[in-house]
Amino acid sequence: MPSLVLLPGLACDERLWEAQRPVLPPALDVRVSDAHMRCDRIETMAAAVLADHPGSLILCGASMGGMVAMEVARQAPARIAGLALLGTNARAETPEMFELRRSAIELFENGEARDVIELNAGFAFHSSRGGDAPLLRRYVELVLDAGAAQLVRQNRALMARPDARPHLPSLRCPVLVMCGDGDRLTPPECSSEIASLVPQAELVWVPQCGHMLTMERPELVNATLGPWLQRLLVAP
């Protein structure tokens, strides 16, 4: 039986997956990776996931966690029984995003992390969620709990990430690609591209949803993710 490893996004932890716990098959050994908190590159995060979790793996990654999942599959394709990629991007960093992250890193290093995160938190969600103060507050505190040093290190890892697209056509495991139809941080075209490159990909759009799928529309994520995981367990 494979292990299910949940891979959080930038500056997130196991709280990102709280709402998904009820639909995770009890037959699976479920772990939440903290490799992104211990390593400074996507490639070394992926290697740490492989070292931390021996045997066959189902990987479920959100945003940066999806990038790590794709790199794990590149490093050890024979060990991957399935990939769920939520709101992620297979491309290398663009020059525009590189500069935005570089500017943000300067602010993080100057002790302005809270100001930056609070100012930009709304972009992580669908445009209709601007008035959902409790949701925005949960997200802000989740990210700030990681600390400025992690925000700096993980953004630098994203700036240097590899282009995952060349190896995606070689994947032979089932792949679930999910994206909010109003994702303003990782545009839906990125998910469409991943699904077009992977032979066994299933592409699911989450309506009225932004980047933080598991927090914003957990009921819709669960309605797809739970049955998909169950199908993996009974597949020949």
The DSSP bridge partners found for residue 29 are 3
Mean pLDDT, residues 4-28: 97
- For the stretch 130-168, pLDDT in tens is 889 999 999 999 999 999 999 999 999 999 999 999 999
Statement: residue 40 has pLDDT above 70: yes
List the structure tokens of 218: 């957990």
If we measure between CA atoms, which residue out of 232, 226, 176 comes closest to residue 204? Answer: 176
pLDDT at residue number 31: 97
Mean pLDDT, residues 11-25: 97
**Percent of the chain topping pLDDT 90:** 96
Band (pLDDT 50/70/90 cuts) for residue 234 is confident
Band (pLDDT 50/70/90 cuts) for residue 1 is confident
If we measure between CA atoms, which residue out of 80, 61, 43, 85 comes closest to residue 190? Answer: 85
**Percent of the chain topping pLDDT 70:** 99
- Return d(Cα 40, Cα 44) in angstroms, integer: 7
pLDDT at residue number 131: 87
List the structure tokens of 53: 């979790």
pLDDT at residue number 236: 64
- For the stretch 217-229, pLDDT in tens is 999 999 999 999 9
- For the stretch 80-121, pLDDT in tens is 999 999 999 999 999 999 999 999 999 999 999 999 999 999
CB half-sphere exposure, 65, CA atoms < 13 A: 32
Mean pLDDT, residues 12-39: 97
Residue pair 216/126 in contact (Cβ under 8 Å)? The answer is yes
- Return d(Cα 82, Cα 159) in angstroms, integer: 26
Q: Full-prediction pTM beyond 0.85?
A: yes
pLDDT at residue number 38: 97
C-alpha distances out from residue 144 to 45, 62, 108, 152, Å? 21, 18, 11, 12
Average pLDDT, the chain: 96
